[in-house]
Structure 1
């Protein structure tokens, strides 16, 4: 399978993340400005050197058809290439691959992938799709209801052990408590009993199964490996394989909602990378709900179908374990910065590979799998599934 990324010619040379806040009072532009400042301080790059910008569609700027050019203008960027991606939580990982493609085809030389959303300060989006006609009249509203359906369907097919989801919740919270960027709401430990006793929000989905939407931003700076070395960059991360599928099983009008694009992109991304699952040192998996993490482990191939609960319970998923998962807290224990949420996993992977994991550093963070999920629509499978494999530069 053709994969130019495998040549390690593309490098992530810097990362940035704002503090995640329940309601920041800032605009997405202001949050992006903080990312630009952090990137400049870390890398020494000035705006005049950046000629590409990839960003995500946002809740807070959803009405703006010129979002990427205006954001670039605010950041002082004169651009040869722009990209606004609307695949929800799959967008940040996808934009790394899109930026790499733009650089490799000569459209630009250095890309800022900036994910920013002031979702709670300024909600302006309408993301309901068919929901207004078919499901909202009977009270089914929002992602928790849909993932409640997904959990229920999973339980009809397989054994789901809530202790496994509780283990994810507890371990991710431990990681979050070492992460200064988490939303203050999550700045306290939880126990398995706390998880099991948390109230139902969409039975069988509990409060501590679910993400909380917040404001925040994150980003990475991407260029060629050759240029990075010429700049004297000492730390870099190579994206070496990416696979994505949008509108999985779209022709099926009565789909099994537990089947997702990860059943295709999971095996594919490993083939592109020339790796097997045992080669992965950490998994930063998109976690709007813990059941999504469990399903990804199965469908990406870390374990068999229906084996997710036992795999989680039988695996050390802490930062020093056999397969560290969402070491910085994920989104559920950090907060989901709106449609920039998929960047939480991406940034944590790069941070770990730069050796800056603070009290949660993964030993030998040579490789990472980063995933993204996007678009929950009309009692169907989630739409977008994305998987990115990263390798630590030498």
Structure 2
């Protein structure tokens, strides 16, 4: 099932100034501090003043009770366009999608998009206990540790339906660890072997230790603006070829086996004037490897149910046949809360402007970034993707 919406192009709008505030396992600083650091680095990188930021989009789980509006006073901003985007791993693509339209219509000229969270010793538990009304009423009171049990259900269902094995998920995790070894702030700093992956302690069958992201503190940020603005500031930039966004897709599936990407891939590829074989690297949202496999299928790189065979027949390292999560993704760098929804975007931007923090993808001209977020018991509610191109 796909849609064929005739999407308006993003001509004239670009992404620039990718910023990462290096991650920490735990932090005594607030989410506000991390967002402030990101904004400071954006201003410094773009050589602008805070008053020049007239659009602001923010995603954070730990900034409460504030939302984007409260942060404007906190940071001395006076934007004429504002978005609070609480969609977890889908936040980054949705932020650039909405900010780009704001720039196109003249509602803003320079939009700062930020995803950031802190991680106190006890903050992850508190986040889980108040994540959603569903979590408060029907999951957390019964002893669920959060997303692990939900993704165990989704993973087991996928394995039963399509014949995926733990070794297949392990191949993805091992490749991402190799990609992360050149990232100085990665939480996981040691090489991972498939034997170590297979022998890791169980968390919630069939989920084991290295299937799970490590919560941490950090921030990711970027600027959305007009191409002529980026040129006037001397900033290298990336073009947006197409985007898609879908929420609460395939509600009749008893357990999630696909996401909203599958409803909109025709729009994604046709608007970009491309096909999957044209993409040089892919950045998927990777809170658990089963979701990576679903995205590979639902984004058109193989048919539904062929994800396991696709994984077995490809090399996912940065110099492999299918460069994937080229910085190591969340599974090896860490999950800085809602910042996890931006990690693929900032990494893709760096690869396309030729300034990666880690290993460079040779002659990268196009990249696909996809997002996934807001898990309830048996499914995630938000999915999105963007195709980006080198200027």
Give the TM-score band, short-chain normalised: over 0.9
1:178 aligned to which of 175, 182, 200 = 182
Cα deviation, 1:200-219, whole Å, max 9, x if unaligned, reads 11101111011111111110
Partner of 1:108: 108
The CA RMSD over aligned residues, in Å, is 1.8
Q: 1:100-249 maps to which residues of 2 (within 5 A)?
A: 100-120=100-120, 123=123, 125=127, 126-136=130-140, 138-183=142-187, 186-233=188-235, 235-249=236-250
CA shift, 1:6, in A, is 4.3
Q: 1:32-47 maps to which residues of 2 (within 5 A)?
A: 32-47=35-50
In the aligned structure 1, how far is the partner of 2:42 from the partner of 2:309? 41
In the aligned structure 1, how far is the partner of 2:211 from the partner of 2:383? 20
Check conservation: 1:18, 1:181, Cα contact below 8 A: no
Structure 2 residue runs without a partner (length 5+):
none
Structure 1 residue runs without a partner (length 5+):
none
In the aligned structure 1, how far is the partner of 2:273 from the partner of 2:377? 36
CA shift, 1:176, in A, is 1.1
In the aligned structure 2, how far is the partner of 1:139 from the partner of 1:307? 35
Q: TM-score, normalised by structure 2?
A: 0.93
Check conservation: 2:57, 2:114, Cα contact below 8 A: yes
Q: Using a 3 Å threshold, how does the CA distance of structure 1 residues 14 and 150 change in structure 2: closer, same or farther?
A: same
Q: TM-score, normalised by structure 1?
A: 0.92
Cα deviation, 1:177-218, whole Å, max 9, x if unaligned, reads 1112322xx111111111011111110111101111111111
Q: Using a 3 Å threshold, how does the CA distance of structure 1 residues 83 and 298 change in structure 2: closer, same or farther?
A: same
- The SS at the match of 1:18 is strand
Q: Using a 3 Å threshold, how does the CA distance of structure 1 residues 388 and 120 change in structure 2: closer, same or farther?
A: farther
Partner of 1:88: 88
In the aligned structure 1, how far is the partner of 2:167 from the partner of 2:381? 28
Check conservation: 2:27, 2:119, Cα contact below 8 A: no
CA shift, 1:31, in A, is 1.1
Q: What is the total number of aligned residue pairs between the two structures? A: 383
Check conservation: 2:31, 2:62, Cα contact below 8 A: yes
CA shift, 1:141, in A, is 3.8
Q: 1:65-80 maps to which residues of 2 (within 5 A)?
A: 67-80=67-80
